[in-house]
Each structure stands twice: as structure tokens, then as C-alpha cells.
Structure 1
Amino acid sequence: MSKENKGNEDIAAMSFEQAMDQLEKIVASLETGDVPLNQSIEIYERGEALKLHCERLLKAAEDRIEKIRLDRSGAAAGTEPLDAD
């Protein structure tokens, strides 16, 4: 296991909401400037891991939504991009 992944094993099991909550707390603590430098680096690295996890979860959700498109009768009619106009 790489040094940067040490202590972040729990992130993979988090829901999007749990990861975002922790990420928001990390940002708030870093913004205050009251955290020692070494701890700031550690929580920044955890924040990066949380951000990547959230991005992966969002991409997976977008992919699922993109696969679902219903026709007028309610049957699946194919796919279209999530942000199609």
C-alpha cells in the first residue's frame, strides 16, 4: 500500500454524501489555518482521496442515468447523454 493511501482505506466504502460531508469538514479546517503544517498535509491528502471518490461516484451515477431513457409508453428506448437538450 502506498503512503498516500495509508489511512484512507475507509473512503471506498463511503456513500457520496458521507464523502462530501468529510470533504467539507476538511476544507473548513484548512481554511481556518489553525491546523499544524504536518496535519494540514495529511488532511489535504485525505481530501484529495475523498474528491476522487466523489468524482468516481458521480461518473458512475451519470453513466447509469445516461443508460436510462424512457419512451412515451414508459419502456426503455435507448440512451442519450445526461445533459442532452
Structure 2
Amino acid sequence: MSEEKQTFEQKLGRLEQIVAALEKGDAPLADSLALFTEGTTLIAQCSDELDRAEQQVVKLMKGSDGAPVELPFEEET
């Protein structure tokens, strides 16, 4: 599956696999470097997606004057 077609959740799942493989510590150096490179790429992609989602939420939460409205989360009882 190409990186462009992966969902956010699929990218996070792959990151979990990469972390587990790197924590195991038994991969050859070249493989570890390739996993690390893939992981940093996925982190950047996920971060971009989260930034876009946050911007969309802020846009949706604008008040009548156009200024963002920040509402506290409801506390669960």
C-alpha cells in the first residue's frame, strides 16, 4: 500500500511495528536505519495530518466575530 493511500490509523500501526522492531534490537544496522528513516517519515506525515485536523477544528469553532472560540472539555463524573 502506498504511503499516500494509508490512513492515519494505518500509519500509526506501522509506527508501532517499527518501534517494536527497533526496541527488540536484533535487526542489522542497515535494517535499523531503514526502519528509523521510515518511522521519521511516518511521524512527519502524521504530524501534518494532525495539524490540518486542528486547523479544520479551529475553523469550525470560530465565533460570530471570526475569532476562534475555545471551549473547555466537559469533565466526566
Identify the TM-score tier after normalising by the shorter chain: 0.7 to 0.9
Backbone CA RMSD of aligned residues? 2.3
| 1:1-85 → structure 2 map (5 Å cutoff) | 10-69=2-61, 77=64, 78-80=66-68
* Unaligned runs of at least 5 residues, structure 2: 73-77
- Deviation (angstroms), 1:79: 4.5
Tell me if the contact between 1:19 and 1:50 (Cα under 8 Å) persists in the aligned partners: yes
- In percent, how many aligned pairs have the same letter? 33
Using the size of structure 2 for normalisation, the TM-score is 0.78
How many equivalent residue pairs?
Answer: 71
- Deviation (angstroms), 1:27: 0.4
CA distance, structure 1, for counterparts of residue 49 and residue 12 of structure 2: 11
Spell out structure 1 runs of 4+ moving beyond 6 A.
Answer: none
Using the size of structure 1 for normalisation, the TM-score is 0.71
* Stretch moving more, 58-67 or 12-21: 12-21
Task: State the SS of the aligned residue for 2:12.
Answer: helix
* Unaligned runs of at least 5 residues, structure 1: 1-8, 72-76
CA distance, structure 2, for counterparts of residue 57 and residue 84 of structure 1: 22
